[in-house]
Structure 1
């Protein structure tokens, strides 16, 4: 765990010369001031490393810089009247982080040339001694006009603090910020909320980004600044403490905000030092180093120090974001008092569009009402939320009751009633989480609050991911989603107990970070909670099974050949029944989309739906799998022949072509694919090599078919061309005919859009590959460097060999990178290894590829050849290689 800041003595304030020259700052004096500021910064960095409080250090740097600025002011302008220097921004609040800008405002009565020259000399001197200055020079009238036009300018004046010059301008500045005509409360609140929404939109409207912005992101330090600004302008409150006196915060909320702010400031201070510049984003480039700098250590491989470090940020930011929203609501109510109360049942009241508790002590006296108010809200159309006082009382009661809510029978009964609402319950669960209520009812959920996983596959923290999974499930209940998820919507409406699926979603990742298999640990948690919830034994078993096997469908579809009835049969035996199959299908889709929107595409949609439909068929009582191979080949060929004859092809011509098709073609391809490939061969009339591209083929993919005399290096050439043209290979089938012809099939997506390609792109691929296959020299993959993100998540590839009949299977698990498949194909070519089949799967930055291999004599790879291939792969695609 991270150490807490200790009471380290702060460096002393710099001592400046008593006598101040009136003719500017000499070159020697500038060097001395630059040295002095450097000494201060080095001393502050040392104090931070020793555990000093970041806020105190930022204030000490602000004080030190203030002394230097005032000294230079006197040297350049002396005691001249009608000119005043103010600190604004963070400097105005007395805080300067290691590389923060020094924001200054000079107010002048009139822009006389001599005064302007002196100001130019002043600002130039500050830059020359190493201060990054942001400055403005205005007269009071200009300042007022700009403040009237722009709320951000007006806001900057709220923090203005005089550093030097004529005190008379204090009144001028006060007159601007205290003028009730400039930005009256309603307008100022609207402007601040609009600024907040626009700022959050730039950061995906969530505090859970993988590389969050400490300052401007949701829940960042700017949110706390905004609360202070609104408190001052709308309630004349002096800081967060003053907002307690005005009833806008309670002492517990103040303590939460102060603790969160201390964490954010500490992280920001460390980030500036680590980056050596005014960096505000917690980039991957810095996260591991910052975790080490702040004392976080790896607990085990599933609870890394960097993950603990980021969890500290996410928890602080989410607390700030939650309270920021609630306090903003209180400002709205303060300016727009609620109307007449309308009773809602015996315990709640409705004030316009807000719901409130009739009795202020309701949640303390009867904890189940904490859940019931969320249920009631579902039944009241037109509500936008709870009253500000009710939100506060929900939060207070949740904190007081704590984990006792998890064992309160009435609370659990209410929670089960909520879950039985199905899709509408999801929004209530999301709001309960905002109040900390969900974590109180499910203590294990509180443990994954803010828990990130240090990879590019999981782009959200575990709690945020879980809530997104739930929201994805709710989409299946929306008729508007039927076009996007026809099978999912069909399954959802048939679910007899939606609460089973919602509970499985809540628990599927709840054991992340503990060590061990999170699916197994989560199953145990799910069983215990569902028992307390009072579910029937059969429903408990369903929830537990879904949690335990929530990855089964995804891994089966993406890592195995679902056109193989044996694979489907084994999967069907594990699933056992149609209802559970439907639940698993919905959970799988919601989980993939909730992990990262970039992971979902038409290919995976069709892949999962094909597996679901095939398994439904396998689960019918009158069908037994696996069926005889001969029967499957006959069924496929009969259907394909019918399709071809409908297109006008002669049966004799088709049979002649098929005489050279390996039996595996009819086992591994759909009849539609067989018919399309056969038609392409017939249309070519013997011209070779044949390259055919179907822009939209099976499972929403682009299909590439290569028919040519087989030769070593064919797979390497094809993958090199695909890499150069930026195609992602989703699946490939490398087959050889009895007469030595290659029948190679690749299912592709555009690498950038992860969608099937246009007709133009398909034609380009056909032409480029056709030319490449007619050349004697092989095509080399393009050389593209890894992205900044990929460089931070390189893992040592795990490569293993397994016997697979008369072939050797190579399993490659590692980090994705540009041109990986093409590079692997080149290595296999040089190692004199033949590729007979390839199964490609990508999970974020992680790839899991499987190849069926032989040597040049079509024999399995012996131990020596396996070792040579292993060494060649490790040298070429290891984490240190580019």
Structure 2
């Protein structure tokens, strides 16, 4: 076996000075090498050469350390394993080593090996190591992860016998036959993908381990090595398992992903595989991406990553199928019709020359697929044929009318949303609708949009499809009732497909998208009324969301304005469903029971306004009378007679019957039923068990700073306020309502605990209730929004409307309320809206004497708010 000079105490015969000088030279060499590689990277040299060059430079240093520590007669061999064994070392990659030796030799050379590993760390190489005999390698390789690392073994100090012994120890006859290894790695990949939500389209994706990342490419290589004994993709092409075009695509994306990873290591200055917000902008600048009029440089970089990951996943799926067929055979085809069949459950074209340049056959493929929900997927040969045929798929604008009819038939046929998803994933939809290709992989650098535009669009379509499913989704209280009333569901799907299609093209994406939708509808021969509906939905797809979340929908004037814009009940129902699907498809955390109820209330109020006629708006007196009657009915069902109900009504503010729903007032009346005058009453009820949404009602004698005390107390209880409504009641009392969500849904406080703790806090001195101090979350530091404060007159001139836009953070509302309390201002109403990192809050304020704020008070409040917001955000 190969060996070296002596043990650690003899490695530096001249003593400590020589050791220090040698280590200094090694560290300088490492630094110079890394600096030179970074410069070569910046000049555009392929990453494949750079990681190989770094591995070679480390090889030499490790061999030098070996020769200093390991005696020449030692029966030890040294191998690089894992990624280092593959000959790839990124700037901060792990250095994995295997020392191969019989067990007696391991014990005999323990001190020499300890000298080696200590020296490597002193050199600045964070190497991990294993010391095993061939028999121990066999045992350890029962773990497929260990076997995978050993498959990559590359000799550093070893002879032919050493290499043969290691290869024999992990031979398929001893451990993990090829088929078993393939199945284990395929299952490992599925589990790894599941940890990332089975999507690469995350805000902070993992370049290495995420779906479509470098690990997927490595996995294909390991499978090929174990199954066919080949390492290079060209060899797979020669064996017929990989097409030349597929190999070229994988080579291209491997370089693109490798370039991102190399740059990320440089920017982070450490081993980092996750494209975190901390590094995205710096990495984009380092790679030469620049902002333009339409897209930020970071968004351009991220779009490139998402597209690369999508291609890797697409080809990865095909290869896994081919490996499976290699081991298990192609099985007997099951004919479906003259053109298609099932092979091992995968849909395949029967003709090897399919589709013969005929785009109609491409659309026929998707129609057949839609009719067979039992199909496991698309057969790899047909998937490759489809990829090669993409160039013949025309844009709809230049397609023949017959092809447009076929596309609309897919939209009106069986399972249209899965069909659109498949067409998008396989590249057909982007060819047919070029605007969709432009938003493929397009991200927006904020925390509100957690998906790329194309993935958000598909999520919206999935939500729409769920409204028509037999099994209802508990997240949506009314959507499943509305869906069956739609005249043409495909029109709603078109609106969902186009609603964000103009993102990143400059201008108002709703207006530009409406123009795209209009052109599409005209080309596909939709009637004028159908085209008008789709176009209007795209243009106004944000109308209902903005109205519900930013305006007071208990105000009849707000309802009248909204109803006038919507104009008819058909538009209202289509817009309602699109809004529900859009909000729920933007972020998993954005949809909740409060928003569900809010939109349902807006729809119900608007339907009433439309039914009565826009020329006859509902006035406040009529609305209050209707609400009172409805509440009496609810209380009667709960054993509260009309006389007692009327007595309870005397304790309520009159305008409460204008702003609250009958069920809310009935619930509040029950809470007041046993309360004595002057008593603090706190009631909490669940809005939806699924997302822990709660409604908190507080009735109390009014005191200065009471609203702030409630808000701060809720914040200290870990509850995030979604909406706040403050009403003054008879006899100097308050009727405040809050819609809240627990910040931590794993251990949310119970309703009883909230009632007890909040009532206790409000029963004592309010000045002792102060905001909690919290550290700003890491991700918010990269999305700083310059605070904007605006003051307007209230509708009747007796109030001042404060509009605040700033970066959201934990405790923000509590801090704002604390400022308002310090200024002795009264909160009459509050609308709390959060969009990712952006808080947009509106407060209706008065002075302590219920008058509007004068110019001096406004200026002082602005300064106090800016000081508090900026001071806490920068802490």
TM tier, smaller: over 0.9
Secondary structure of the corresponding residue to residue 155 of structure 1: helix
Q: Look up the match of 1:685.
A: 676
**Deviation of residue 786 (structure 1)?**
1.4
Alpha-carbon distance change, 397 to 180 in structure 1, aligned in 2, over 3 angstroms: farther
Shift of 1:20: 7.2
Q: CA offsets, 1:574-632, max 9 Å, x none?
A: 22222222222221121112111111111111111222222223322668652232222
Which residue does the alignment assign to 2:762?
Answer: 770
Correspondence list, 1:93-492, <5 A: 93-112=86-105, 113-147=107-141, 149-180=142-173, 182-300=175-293, 303-380=295-372, 382-399=374-391, 401=393, 403=395, 407-421=399-413, 424-481=415-472, 483-492=474-483
* Distance in 2, Cα, partners of 1:78 & 1:272: 36
Answering whether residue 835 of structure 2 is matched by residue 843 of structure 1, we say yes
Matched, 1:24 2:11: yes
Match of 1:795 in 2: 785
Alpha-carbon deviations, 1:506-543, whole Å to 9, x = none?
11111111221111111111111222223222222121
Counterpart among 610, 623, 637 of residue 619 in structure 1: 610
Are 1:784 and 2:774 counterparts? yes
The answer to whether the 8 A contact 1:666-1:674 is kept is yes
Please say if 1:761 is aligned against 2:753. Answer: yes
Instruction: Work out whether residues 701 and 755 of structure 1, in 8 Å CA contact, stay in contact via their aligned partners in 2.
Output: no
Other structure's SS at 2:769 match: coil
User: Residues 693 and 702 of structure 1 are in contact (CA less than 8 Å); yes or no, is this contact kept in structure 2?
Assistant: no
| Cα displacement string for residues 643-678 of structure 1 (whole angstroms, at most 9, x for unaligned residues) | 446656576665556456443122112233334434
1:567 to 554, 558, 568: 558
Name the CA distance, whole Å, in 2 between partners of 1:109 and 1:646: 85
Deviation of the 1:738 alpha carbon: 5.7
Q: Deviations over 1:8-42 (max 9, x none)?
A: xxxxxxxxxxx978842551322322222122122
Matched, 1:45 2:32: no
Moved more, 796-805 or 573-582: 573-582
Q: 1:437 to 1:139 in 2, by over 3 A?
A: same
Following TM superposition, by how much is the alpha carbon of 1:739 offset from its aligned partner in structure 2, in angstroms? 4.2
Aligned equivalents of 2:203, 2:780: Cα separation in 1: 13
Q: Distance in 1 between matches of 2:618 and 2:490?
A: 37
Q: 1:751 to 1:544 in 2, by over 3 A?
A: same
How far off its partner does 1:679 sit?
4.4
State yes or no: 1:735 paired with 2:746: no
Q: For the structure 1 residues 776 and 553, does the alpha-carbon distance in structure 2 shift closer, same or farther, using more than 3 Å as the test? A: closer
Q: CA 1:495/1:185 → structure 2, altered by over 3 Å: closer, same or farther?
A: farther
Deviates more, 1:81-90 or 1:640-649: 640-649
Equivalent of residue 588 in structure 1, options 579, 583, 586:
579
Deviation at 1:357, TM superposition (A): 1.5
- Per mean C-alpha deviation after superposition, the further-off stretch among 455-464 and 689-698 is 689-698
Alpha-carbon separation, structure 1, partners of 2:171 and 2:748: 60
Q: After superposition, what is the alpha-carbon deviation per residue over 1:817-838, rounded to whole angstroms, capped at 9, x for unaligned?
A: 1111111111122234322111
> What SS class does the counterpart of residue 682 from structure 2 fall into?
strand
| Match of residue 5 from structure 1 | none
Give SS of 1:111's match. Answer: helix
Would you say the 8 A contact 1:696–1:756 is kept in 2? no
SS at match of 2:381: helix
Task: Calculate the TM-score normalised by the size of structure 1.
Answer: 0.92
Distance 1:636 1:525, change over 3 A: same
Q: 2:63 aligns with which of 70, 79, 82?
A: 70
Taking a change above 3 Å as real, the CA distance of residues 331 and 400 of structure 1, as seen in their structure-2 partners, is: farther
Q: Does the residue aligned with 1:802 lie in a helix, a strand or coil?
A: strand
Contact kept in structure 1, 2:120 and 2:127, CA below 8 Å:
yes
The corresponding residue for 1:85 is: 78
Q: 1:88 and 1:248 mapped to 2: Cα distance? A: 26
1:185 Cα offset (Å): 2.7
Going from structure 1 to structure 2, the CA distance change for 1:641 and 1:476 (only over 3 Å counts) comes to closer
The unaligned stretches of length 5 or more in structure 1 are 1-18
| Alignment correspondent of 2:658 | 667
- CA–CA separation in structure 1 for the residues paired with 2:162 and 2:791: 79
The separation in 2 between residues aligned to 1:736 and 1:251, in whole angstroms, is 75
Range that drifts further, 410-419 or 437-446: 410-419
Q: Which moved more, 1:654-663 or 1:714-723?
A: 654-663
Contact 1:448 1:462 in 2 (8 A): yes
Task: State whether residues 341 and 349 of structure 1, in contact with CA within 8 Å, keep that contact through their aligned partners in structure 2.
Answer: yes
What is the DSSP-based 3-state SS (H/G/I as helix, E as strand, rest coil) of the residue aligned with 2:735? strand
Judged with a 3 Å threshold, the aligned counterparts in structure 2 of structure 1 residues 236 and 851 are, in CA distance, closer, same or farther, namely same
Aligned to 2:492: 501
**Preserved CA contact (<8 Å) 2:456 2:586:** yes
Aligned to 2:15: none
Instruction: Tell me the residue number matched to 2:684.
Output: 694
Q: Contact between 1:689 and 1:706, CA under 8 Å: does it hold in 2?
A: no
Change (3 A) 1:657 1:170: closer
Deviation at 1:406, TM superposition (A): 6.4
- Flag the 1:188–1:660 CA change in 2: closer, same or farther, 3 A: closer
User: Which whole-Å CA distance do the structure 2 matches of 1:736 and 1:123 have between them?
Assistant: 74
2-side partners of 1:68 and 1:590: how far apart? 58
Specify the SS of the correspondent of 2:447: coil
Q: What is the Cα deviation at residue 375 of structure 1? A: 1.0
Q: Matched residue of 2:611: which SS?
A: coil
The Cα shift of 1:412 comes to 2.6
Among candidates 538, 542, 545, match of residue 551 of structure 1: 542
Q: Give the Cα separation in 2 of the matches to 1:173 and 1:159.
A: 11
Identify which range, 175-184 or 872-881, moves more after superposition.
175-184
Distance 1:116 1:757 in 2: 56
TM-score where L is the length of structure 2: 0.93
User: What per-residue deviation string (whole Å, max 9, x for no partner) do you get for residues 112-145 of structure 1?
Assistant: 2443322222222111101011111111121123
Aligned partner of residue 421 in structure 2, secondary structure: helix
SS in 1 for 2:248: helix
Check 1:655–1:150 CA distance in 2 against 1; reply closer, same or farther (3 A cut).
closer
Q: Partners of 2:634 and 2:378 in 1: how far apart?
A: 62
Instruction: State the alpha-carbon separation in 2 of the partners of residues 215 and 283 from structure 1.
Output: 13
CA distance in 1, matches of 2:643, 2:591: 43
1:606 is the counterpart of 2:597:
yes
**Structure 1 residues 677, 474: CA separation in 2 closer, same or farther (over 3 Å shift)?**
closer
Q: Distance between the aligned counterparts of 1:837 and 1:717, measured in 2?
A: 15
Instruction: Report the Cα distance in structure 1 between the residues aligned to 2:637 and 2:236, rounded to whole angstroms.
Output: 79
| Match of residue 816 from structure 1 | 808
Q: CA deviation at 1:408?
A: 4.5
Counterpart-to-counterpart distance in 2, 1:684 and 1:110: 81
| CA–CA distance in structure 2, aligned partners of residues 703 and 404 of structure 1 | 49
Pick closer, same or farther for the CA change 1:499–1:717 going to 2, 3 Å.
same
Q: How many residues align?
A: 858
Structure 1 residues 503, 650: CA separation in 2 closer, same or farther (over 3 Å shift)?
closer
